[in-house]
Structure 1
């Protein structure tokens, strides 16, 4: 979580391809060497990724996951969530399991993925994010503790024009403080598919929302509280890094900040009561 720049390892995945067909085969070959090293037919952990129109972003994501430093046996499942670009072309060139979900929405895609997962544990990852090489290890240290049903991690933003790293740094600090406060009563509101894990036995009982619903990850976490605690993975080295497009949807940096502050202000009083309908 750098003040002035993103960590150096992110540059290893700064591919500048514009389309899937621009990616040379030797790039896939190198990534597949790492995937073959990590994956097994008898995994303890399934890394589950839903991808919708991510033909180049999924390359960066999988490339980062291929560099994981862990002895935990894993598998990677990518669910093509009815993409209309060349996402499937990219997926087919990886040594991973591939599924197709024609019903739009992360919930339906993740439900299909968990129903086909071989692992005892599931880690959710997003197709447009980059994962540090310690991510699996740090998430599993928490998830495998007794009485834990769900774990979530922190994330940071990769700077772009109009969104400087120093602006994003203080935005993240504010976000982390709010998350700590929210965790006391409503930890499920901190759970996002960008970096989240759970016990498959329990998640299959809860099930994902089977419609195009924003917040399927939080709904899953809420249901998992019946089976154990939600814990936060706090190691800053294991923070996931993502682009700023979720902020850009709200305009410039100031506009995105104001919108989120207003949203948190409305939520604030809810931290002192039970679950509200909007949760």
Structure 2
């Protein structure tokens, strides 16, 4: 047992060090030097988001980009609240913006992929950029992506996402968790082995999307509109990049309670078994093994079956190496102060992560009033 603990711990440390190296290689981007030229189709699927649409609409109205160079396509996925009415009102009050409201055309097993596909068929412009209905976008959002496209000629660009700061331990836990995910995402791009992205801030060329046949091949998997598309672009040798720009950060809302957070994380984890990315599978295996080792060792110590010293070794290694990655990411997002809760989060996370991983293997999940089977 002790040898296994040591081997898994060392593998985990080397993995995080590798991602830290990638994070440091990904330079901060400042893209306000290029005049606007890229045309964007902004796609936003929504279902039962009446409580979140107003902040999103306010941020869209304030985009600092020529109105003739972008359109906004809202896709209603059978909302049962006032979402559609709010969208129609937004369209009526903002005639200077090119706004379209579509109804989702369900053909796959994934409502979100259906919605994005529905919108892309109607999209007029050469680059697609997606976000979620519970998000807000910064004023320079499109300008930053425009400059990145001009400089890099990338066919796909992933952007940064953060949780909206709010009070309470649960919100802090989610912020720190997302910082770990964003740090790993940026690190993967930095070593040219990207394995994660986030559909809340995701841009790709429409022509390239069509060339890789869109979501064909993973259309039955409810989530993963971002990661599986990233895999397909990489497989075809299309250039991908990460836009590490503070002016391009999309802000999303924290889940309101632990049950909704667990449901969200199960939805995220459910797609991992379908990954084709070897490095992504390797990362997932090492992270899961490390968390399981900590959980089993903690239980063994409580039952007086394992020496506390054997728990201290993996815990301190993980605690410190994770902190370095998360701190670097929190500094990029200018949210270092949330790390005051890091110690307690580090105690809870192995149990929550292991619980979610096990559930995702055997259980379906509920999301937006729908039940998805495994």
Question: Do residues 115 (structure 1) and 121 (structure 2) align?
Answer: yes
Q: Which ranges in structure 2 are unaligned for 5 or more consecutive residues?
A: 1-37, 92-98, 263-343, 359-374
TM-score (norm 2): 0.53
The residue that corresponds to 1:76 in the other structure is: 72
CA distance in 2, matches of 1:61, 1:256: 32
CA displacement, residues 163-195 of structure 1 (integer Å, 9 cap, x when unaligned): 4776566445433332233223542x3222100
CA distance in 2, matches of 1:235, 1:140: 12
Number of equivalences: 223
The residue that corresponds to 2:240 in the other structure is: 230
* 1:128–1:242 Cα contact (<8 Å) kept: yes
Q: Give the SS at the match of 2:131.
A: strand
CA distance in 2, matches of 1:260, 1:124: 29
- Map 1:238-277 → 2, pairs under 5 A: 238-245=248-255, 248=258, 249-250=260-261, 254=345, 257-258=349-350
More strand by share: 1
* 1:114–1:200 Cα contact (<8 Å) kept: yes
The residue that corresponds to 2:5 in the other structure is: none
The residue that corresponds to 1:198 in the other structure is: 204
- Of 89, 94, 118, the match for 2:90: 94
- Map 1:145-184 → 2, pairs under 5 A: 145-163=151-169, 170-183=176-189, 184=191
Q: Which ranges in structure 1 are unaligned for 5 or more consecutive residues?
A: 1-42, 267-279
CA distance in 1, matches of 2:40, 2:55: 21
CA distance in 2, matches of 1:259, 1:92: 44
The residue that corresponds to 1:46 in the other structure is: 41
CA distance in 2, matches of 1:172, 1:204: 31
* 1:115–1:204 Cα contact (<8 Å) kept: no
CA displacement, residues 238-266 of structure 1 (integer Å, 9 cap, x when unaligned): 21111111884346x84874467659x99
More helix by share: 2
TM-score (norm 1): 0.69
* 1:154–1:240 Cα contact (<8 Å) kept: yes
Root-mean-square deviation (CA, aligned residues, Å) is: 3.1
Q: Give the SS at the match of 2:42.
A: strand
CA distance in 2, matches of 1:235, 1:48: 21
Classify 1:53/1:167 alpha carbon distance in 2 versus 1 (closer, same or farther; 3 Å). closer
CA displacement, residues 173-226 of structure 1 (integer Å, 9 cap, x when unaligned): 433332233223542x32221000000001123312544611122112222222
Question: Do residues 62 (structure 1) and 57 (structure 2) align?
Answer: yes
CA distance in 2, matches of 1:98, 1:78: 5
Classify 1:76/1:89 alpha carbon distance in 2 versus 1 (closer, same or farther; 3 Å). same
CA distance in 2, matches of 1:246, 1:179: 25
* 2:174–2:254 Cα contact (<8 Å) kept: no
Structure of greater Rg? 2
CA distance in 1, matches of 2:179, 2:59: 25
